[in-house]
Amino acid sequence: MTGNNPYEGLTELPGFTLTSEDVADGSPLLADQYGASAGGSDVSPQLSWSGFPADTKTFAVTVYDPDAPTASGFWHWAVFNIPVGVTSLPSGAGSPDGEAIPEGAVTLPNEMRLPHFIGATPPEGTGVHRYFIAVHALPDRLDIDPDSTPAVLGFNLNFNATARAVIVGTAEFGGAES
């Protein structure tokens, strides 16, 4: 696990409250949040948020692993244009069928080019990975091609988000079985 925070160096934003029934900040992910190939179930965590700016019109949710053995990290999930009236997502909202994603929201393809959540799958020998689960408040809808990468979303969030809430879960090789 490296010490970098992927949001350091980006536009500094005020925070708001993000909670989860499935992920405790700084604690290991549940087995369900691991990838199927790592003994998990690829289930996105339950998320709830509050205290965001009054001018918020939409939200974006991202899950990012900066500790992946790449120069660019690894995006596990990216959803944007979640309407302001939606302040929680149930466990499993990021499933392949997309049924729990609110109408009007867009899920971008992750690093595996799949338009849904994929769980943690740290390779053997790479130590503990951190999974930055973030909800971003936005004053308007984003106009991003639905085939774009999560990095394109991240670029737009840097310049458009008005607040950000983050929970960091952890995972390591073999952790789904422990």
Q: Is the pLDDT confidence value at 161 over 60?
A: yes
- Asked if residue 165 is part of any domain, the answer here is yes
Backbone angles phi, psi at 151, to 5 degrees: -65, -35
For residue 140, what are its two tokens? Answer: 């308007």
Which pLDDT score is estimated for 175?
Answer: 86
- Asked if residue 5 is part of any domain, the answer here is no
How many other CB atoms are there within 10 angstroms of residue 71's CB atom?
A: 5
- Asked if residue 2 is part of any domain, the answer here is no
- Asked if residue 41 is part of any domain, the answer here is yes
- Asked if residue 9 is part of any domain, the answer here is no
Which pLDDT score is estimated for 176?
Answer: 84
CA angle, 109 as apex, 117 and 77 as ends, to 5°?
35
Distance CA 76, CA 134 (A): 12
Which pLDDT score is estimated for 87?
Answer: 98
- Asked if residue 151 is part of any domain, the answer here is yes
Q: Give the structural domain span for 68.
A: 17-177
157 confidence band (pLDDT: 50, 70, 90): very high
The pTM of this model reads 0.96
- Asked if residue 137 is part of any domain, the answer here is yes
- Asked if residue 3 is part of any domain, the answer here is no
pLDDT digits (tens, 9 = 90+) for 96-148: 999 999 999 999 999 999 999 999 999 999 999 999 999 999 999 999 999 99
| Structural domains counted in the chain | 1
Mean pLDDT computed over 33-56: 97
Work out the percent of the chain whose per-residue pLDDT is above 70.
98
pLDDT digits (tens, 9 = 90+) for 45-101: 999 999 999 999 999 999 999 999 999 999 999 999 999 999 999 999 999 999 999
Residue 86: CATH number of its domain: 3.90.280.10
